[in-house]
Amino acid sequence: MEILPERIRTIREGVPGTGVVAYWMSRDQRSGDNWALLFAQETALRHKLPLVVVFCLADSFLGATLRQYGFMLQGLEKVARSLEKLSIPFFILRGEAPETLPGFIEQSDVSFLVTDFDPLRVKRHWQDEVARKANIPFYEVDAHNMVPCRFVSDKKEYGAYTIRKKIGRLLKRFAVDIPVPEKHPYPSGLRGTPVDAGALLRGLKIDRSVKEIDWITPGEDYALRALDGFLEERLGRYGADRNDPLKDCQSDLSPYLHFGQISAQRIALGVMKCRAAGLSGDAFLEELIVRRELSDNFCLYERDYDSFSAFPEWARRTLDEHRGDRRAYLYSREELESSKTHDDLWNAAQREMAARGKMHGYMRMYWAKKILEWTASPEEALSAAIYLNDRYELDGRDPNGYAGIAWSIGGVHDRAWGSRNVFGKIRYMSYNGCASKFSVKRYIKKVSRLNG
């Protein structure tokens, strides 16, 4: 099985144990199209060893609520079932990896450890702690990006235009089909954790005030169906209609991508196949590959990706110059959260996110920029936007979110524009600008019909 070496990073050479090979699954929560699982299986086959998958289930991960955990655990229940069919036992360890994984490695005398790539600080801390406590061979595989993040670039990219060139040169090489994992021939004799999403959900210490959503079904099986539906019905008009919140033309794949229930490479291969039918898909691939991988690049090379210090120098300067500007409106986080501003369009966007768990992509820009305009400082705007985004969005707590909010509020991956009150040279978006693109009234009406 050909796994491109550029996807694999040796975290630690270590001394192999004599027991099972373990894939510590975290970001890429799927049994199919998963390069980390495939590399773990290749290692186990080479050494004629059993293979197991482990997931460390933390409480309140970055403030995640019932809404996100419900979606994730139902997806993991399906992962456990598909892995059992492949004779690969699946274990859920309760608690953060640094506390739970070393013990598991000890007990099962794990020989080789594989994990998937995630640029978020908390994940890198987990990885560092596990590497410190267990001295077995430990590998990281980028199963999330079509072109591996660490390989595309060894530094923070300025914007889409710089990373696009680098990705463009490598795309052909990585746009390969993904092998299927095989039924594992070396039994471990271990029984995995029976995964009952409901029971696990009840046992978690989490905020239960943000209700689960029902318009999307979790799991890698439904993710692939959603992809087919998008390719058939909406890809063709994505370029023209993607920025119109009334045209309902986004893919709705972000919750599946965020929890790794679908592979971006699988999506891209599907889009490329549509070329034969005359559909270009370029606008979609630009978002799925260039924009998404730019976000991973941002979080990988900018440790403080959720702080003012991560903004480019020109943006920090211009925002500093305008700190003292009078704010025409000032809202507290509570007023924002309960959609109590003077702006009915903004209130509708907030309500769409709170009720549906997914705000339209175009509205997210307007939504975040208004938070900059109506709070006392860029730092307060940043923390309010991240808090609300990660509390209500199904796809929250994601590099795309930190990069999207930093773009909106701090000009990350953007350029300077004409200067104005509060914003300085940060790109401005206005109510009338939205109204010139779609019917604001109809969007407000559409959102008012959402329950929740």
403 binds ligand FO1 (CB under 6 A): no
Q: Is residue 370 a contact point for ligand FO1 (CB under 6 A)?
A: no
97 binds ligand FAD (CB under 6 A): no
Nearest to 117 by CA among 50, 182, 173, 39: 39
- Rounded CA-CA distance 362/364 in Å is 5
**Given 3-state DSSP classes, what are the helix, strand and coil percentages for the chain, each rounded to the nearest 5?**
50, 10, 40
Q: Does 28 bind ligand FAD (CB under 6 A)?
A: no
Residue 70 · residue 259 · CB < 8 Å: no
* Among ligand FAD, ligand FO1, none, residue 120 binds (CB under 5-8 Å by kind): ligand FO1
The position carrying tokens 């059993």 is: 50
Residues 392-411 that bind ligand FAD (CB under 6 A): 393, 395-396, 398, 400-401, 404-405, 408
Q: What is the Cα–Cα distance from 452 to 443, expressed in whole angstroms?
A: 17
Q: Considering the rule CB under 6 A, would residue 41 count as an interface residue with ligand FAD?
A: no
Q: What CA–CA distances, in Å, run from 48 to 18, 44, 114, 186, 210? A: 11, 6, 16, 7, 46
Tokens at 146, concatenated:
């079509």
Would you list the DSSP string of 22-51? Answer: EEEESS---SSS-HHHHHHHHHHHHTT--E
CB of 346 to ligand FAD, least distance (A): 13
For ligand FO1, give the closer residue by CB, 26 or 318: 26
Residues sharing a CB contact under 8 Å with residue 9, sequence separation 6 or more, in sequence order: 117, 139, 140, 141, 142, 150
User: 58 contacts which partner out of ligand FAD, ligand FO1, none, CB within 5 to 8 A by kind?
Assistant: ligand FO1
* Residue 393 interacting entry, from ligand FO1, ligand FAD, none, C-beta within 5 to 8 Å by type: ligand FAD
Which member of 41, 254, 297, 339 binds ligand FAD (CB under 6 A)? 254
Binders in 150-209 for ligand FAD, by CB under 6 A: none
Contact 88, 51 (CB under 8 A): yes
> For the chain, first and last CA: distance in Å?
48
Q: Does 361 engage in binding with ligand FAD (CB under 6 A)?
A: yes
| Euclidean distance between CA atoms 292 and 399, whole angstroms | 8
Contact indicator for 117, 144 with CB cutoff of 8 Å: yes
Binding site partner of 389, from ligand FAD, ligand FO1, none, Cβ cut-off 5-8 A by kind: ligand FAD
- 118 is a site residue for ligand FO1 (CB under 6 A): yes
The alpha helices in 95-234, defined as continuous H runs, are 97-107, 121-133, 149-152, 160-174, 197-202, 220-233
* Among ligand FAD, ligand FO1, none, partner that 26 touches (CB below 5 to 8 angstroms by kind): ligand FO1
263 binds ligand FAD (CB under 6 A): no
Question: Of the listed pieces 203-211, 287-295, 301-309, 338-346, which binds ligand FAD according to CB under 6 A?
Answer: 287-295
Where in 6-65 is the site for ligand FO1 (CB under 6 A)? 26-27, 56-58, 61, 64
Residue 287 touching ligand FAD (CB under 6 A): yes
233 within 8 A of 226, measured Cβ to Cβ: no
Closer residue to ligand FO1 in complex, CB, 108/254: 254
Q: Which stretch binds ligand FO1 (CB under 6 A): 8-16, 239-247, 330-338, 391-399?
A: 391-399
| Candidate list 65, 68, 265, 389; residue touching ligand FAD; CB under 6 A | 389
CB-wise, 157 or 393, nearer to ligand FO1? Answer: 393
Cβ proximity to ligand FAD, 212 vs 293, nearer residue: 293
Least Å distance, CB 356 to ligand FO1, is 16
Residue in 267, 274, 272 with CA at minimum distance from that of residue 251: 267
Q: Is the distance from CB of 245 to CB of 360 less than 8 angstroms? A: yes
Burial of 361 (0-12, 13-18, 19+ CB in 10 A): middle
**Chain residues in the site for ligand FAD (CB under 6 A):** 242, 250-254, 257-258, 287-288, 291-292, 295, 361, 364-365, 368, 389, 393, 395-396, 398, 400-401, 404-405, 408
| Contacts with ligand FO1, residue ranges (CB under 6 A) | 26-27, 56-58, 61, 64, 68-69, 72, 118, 120, 259, 396-398
